[in-house]
Chain A
Amino acid sequence: MAPRKTERQLNLVICLLAARRYLTREKIRDSVEGYQGLSDVAFQRMFERDKDDLRDLGIPIETGSNDSYFDDEQGYRILPGDFELPPVEFSQEEQVVLGIAAHVFDGAGLAPRASSALGKLQAAGVELSTTGFVQPRLGGDDEAVGVVWEAIADRRRIRFDYRAPGLTRLVEAWGVLVRRGVWYVYGLDLGREAPRMFRLSRMAGGVESLEPAGAYELPDRGVVEAAAASLEPAAVTDTAFIAIRGTAAPALRRRGSVVTISAPDGYVAYAVPYGSVGEIADQAAGAAPDVLVIGPDEVRDATLDRLRAVAARTLSTELA
């Protein structure tokens, strides 16, 4: 079945592309292999479906009439200028980076979109080459990725259950953020009437893309960039004094500098800039007892809270 349908639709594209004038339905029915021998109703239904399928692929099928003075029957055509990829050339260096980009979504949700885009570029003469040394991957295996991506491209609202079935959100998605392997969508939550960020992996039970296309406008790119920035660690504003033993906690040592204040025996004191108390307390507690916080008090207290919670637990050897 599939080959017959593919042939018919491809023939329809070729027919409309080659047409110098708008072709009426009857003319199309006579010309295109696959429409002959159908009842009127069956033909109309099949032609409508084919037209929708092709438009979904981005094929610009125009509707109009050849003679504006007479109430002519509506016809169809595809203008080559609208259909064809405009001339575009990529330098050797650009083709190398495109060759690397070609594999970013291997095995992931956006892979089919990358393949079809690259197929078109190659058909326009682009040769993809790759060094194979640099191999970026973005993941995004969730099925939701592809649906959300096309919904944003088409400006269609999306509906999904978040965190648990039944907690339904209706969102005008503005953009996608990929940070440390986690995919987020950022947009206007219509239920809460405010911008919200959602993890794609928490969309329980898939995402629905709603009619119609073009349902909303996108904000400035700066809005999405600001949302991305909010995911990064807070800007460095304060300094903590931290005692570090030996070669432990290289990340903290590299961020900081040695200071000559007294530290416990065997430890060296560092001044370490930090942005959020929680973040530096996580690092200090995580590296205990090789790392001890000297001050300020709020960092020391947050670190001690973590340590006390763990120290109070019973060792397996202490169990009766």
Chain B
Amino acid sequence: MSTSADQVARLLALIPYLQARPGITLADAAAAFSISQKQLMADLWVAFMCGLPGGMPGDLIEVDMDAVEGEGVIRLSNAAVLSKPLRLAPHEVGTLRLALQAVREIAAPESYAAIDSASGKLATISWQDGPMAVVSIVTGAESVRQALVDAREAHQRVRLTYEGGARGDTTQPLVDPAAIVVRDGYAYLEAWSLDRDGWRSYRLDRIVAVDPTGVEGADHGQPPLRDDWLSDAAAEVTLRVSESAWWITENYPTSATSGDLVTLRVVDPAWLRQLVLRLGAEAEVVAPRAAQDDAVLAAREALARYEAWTTTRDVLAREDSV
């Protein structure tokens, strides 16, 4: 879409929006339309030049540009023809309904009714159905989501029961919940950990229980933005990957690919170990060689244990049959 088409589309919503809110500030109006104040000023100058045919003063849309430039407030009038916005296009309705599906995946169950009814209303306001879409996000149990939302609304500190990361131990961190976010299709709780005295992310599907403490939570500001789970400390590991395992390039942070070589960014050695073990013959670490040692040792130990166990079982079986 060209800039000009964007601007026409926006003005057709902006003009009725501003008429209904006389005296709104530039800042509020710009925020509502996700545009800069500079862009909004440009839009207002266009509106100022438009109106009914004839071009006489009474025909034009009135915008008090002195108030805009002096006080930063907008008063727009004499645009009765544009008192209502243009109907939504099917792709616009579809976009909002898709967004609502994403909200429903991670929201507390108490919000389902509002999500469904809002989506139902949207479905009726275009001339044709929007695109079909199905969303799935890896998220926690409904009871966990509800408990977190309740704790947040009551500003309560909670104790999580968390079945942790790659090493798999269960912990019970004491946290102040700050946000439920989604990264790469997984829902996480961003919370201030009292034990670690810092921000931590907890995968929602690994939170088994949320227990209120009755203690009021403290304000720690905003959790840091994380585009993904990479950190600067990530090491680069290059694997030779067969066609059947090529999916890892789309699911994990990949810094380069070349032929059948894939370079991944690895923060946690335990994560790399389990990836190499599960891929088996489908992938092999080529650089640095030592990055694979953990996995090789784990596989050898496992095979030794299988061997020992099979022998024991055979002995037991023979004794049983005697």
Residues on A lying within 8 angstroms of B by beta carbon are 2-3, 5-7, 9-11, 13-15, 17-18, 31-33, 53-54, 56-59, 80, 82-86, 88, 90-91, 93-94, 96-98, 100-102, 104-105, 110-125, 128, 131-139, 149-150, 152-154, 174-182, 199, 201-202, 218, 221, 224-225, 227-228, 231-232, 243, 247-251, 254, 262, 264, 281-283, 285-290, 292, 304-311, 313-317, 319
Contacts and interface: CB of A to CB of B under 8 A. Distances in A.
- Interface SS of chain B: helix
Interface in B281-304: 281, 284, 288-290, 292-293, 295-303
Counting from the closest, the 9 A-B pairs by CB-CB distance are A306-B280, A181-B185, A180-B185, A250-B163, A31-B53, A175-B132, A117-B92, A286-B274, A288-B302
Interface string B120-145: 01001100111111111110000000
A153 B133 CA distance: 11
28 contacts: A2-B4, A84-B86, A84-B87, A91-B117, A100-B107, A101-B96, A105-B95, A111-B34, A112-B1, A114-B92, A114-B95, A114-B99, A117-B96, A124-B84, A134-B108, A136-B99, A137-B102, A176-B98, A178-B102, A178-B133, A182-B251, A264-B309, A289-B302, A307-B299, A308-B303, A310-B292, A311-B296, A313-B292
B8 A285 contact: no
Given A33-B49, A117-B93, A179-B185, 8 more contacts: A91-B117, A116-B6, A123-B16, A134-B103, A138-B102, A247-B169, A309-B280, A311-B296
A289 to B, nearest CB: 4
Interface in B52-106: 52-55, 81-82, 84-96, 98-100, 102-103, 105-106
Given A31-B53, A93-B114, A119-B33, A18 B81 contact: yes
B53 A101 contact: no
Given A149-B91, A288-B298, A306-B279, A57 B8 contact: yes
The interface size bin for chain B is 35 or more
B293 A307 contact: no
A8 B248 CA distance: 51
Contact of B296 (A3, A17, A285, A310): A310
Contact of B96 (A54, A118, A243, A248): A118
A176 B133 contact: yes
B223 to A, nearest CB: 10
Contacts of A199: 250
A223 to B, nearest CB: 9
